[in-house]
Amino acid sequence: MSQDQRLQHQRFELKYVIGEQKARRIRDYISSFLVVDENCVGKPDLSYAVHSLYLDSDHLQTYRDTVNGNKNRFKLRIRYYTDDPNTPVFLEIKRRLNNCIRKQRAAVRREAVPGILAGQLPSAKALISPSPQHLPALQDFCRLLQTMGAKPKVHGAYLREAYLPLTENSARVTMDRVVRSEFKPKLELSTHMRNPIMVWGQTVVLELKFVDRYPNWFGDLVRTFNLRQCGAAKYADGVSLLHGCRPQ
């Protein structure tokens, strides 16, 4: 398994909420260790847009597992990046097992998604990638979807600035800005948001991600910028705020 696949499949994540001025200083600092992700090159603020349609049960099982601090939990989401109907979308299971993050991801054709959410058993033709891990990921996603009775609940979006090593991907640093959420109780894979709320205002969510060993320079970065680790759950924090904004 390549380093890139390993980071995608299993990793550790440390999160920090910081101000924009500190984020720009950290950008300069990490340039000595990492290069900008190719998806960010030429983009405003070195950032690309990420959109997720989160799926949950009617009783919001995955949301409650997060806010209750359950050590072993997961969430289901459909991730996409554009409105182009010819681009794939990604059905994702993101699991937390104690402090370890495990992610399964299946790239599928957009036209296959309605049938999958309706309970149809997808065929291999729904997949974009021939990589062997995609079919089991799709099957596991469908199993959890049906077991929970999960449905679309929330559209989340943000702008991501990302960095990784030049020759491998055992570590990664991301900075997410303009994190927004809105209720989305139906299948709609659109980048347009009608009435979103800002989850953390104008602050930046910094994430340090690594596969095996905590890089020594991560520790130096944390000490240099006096970073304080915290929780920053985009789906759960967004749902909490959305419920607070809902008219009574």
Share of the chain above pLDDT 90, in %: 81
Tokens of 245: 């904004």
Can you tell me the mean pLDDT for 73-97?
Answer: 96
Given this model, what pLDDT does residue 166 score? 87
Given this model, what pLDDT does residue 9 score? 65
User: How many CB atoms lie under 10 A from the CB of residue 211?
Assistant: 17
pLDDT over threshold 80, residue 31 = yes
- Looking at the chain, list the stretches that DSSP marks H as alpha helix, in order from N- to C-terminal side: 3-9, 20-30, 61-67, 113-117, 134-148, 216-224, 234-245
Query: Burial level of 124, CB count in 10 A (0-12/13-18/19+)?
Result: exposed
Tokens of 40: 């960010």
Q: What is the DSSP letter of 95?
A: E
Q: What is the DSSP letter of 1?
A: -
Q: Write out pLDDT tens, residues 167-226.
A: 877 899 999 999 999 999 999 999 999 999 999 999 999 999 999 889 999 999 999 999
State the average pLDDT for the chain: 92
Rounded CA-CA distance 53/181 in Å is: 10
CA dist 60 → 46, 154, 193 (Å): 34, 11, 22
Given this model, what pLDDT does residue 10 score? 78
Given this model, what pLDDT does residue 111 score? 94
Given this model, what pLDDT does residue 212 score? 83
pLDDT over threshold 60, residue 6 = no
Contact between 91 and 116 under an 8 Å Cβ cutoff? The reply is yes
Given this model, what pLDDT does residue 169 score? 75
First-to-last C-alpha distance (Å) of the chain: 51
Contact between 80 and 91 under an 8 Å Cβ cutoff? The reply is no
pTM of the model: 0.92
- Cα 171 → chain centroid: 16
Tokens of 170: 């055992």
- Closest alpha carbon to 242 in 60, 106, 102, 27: 60
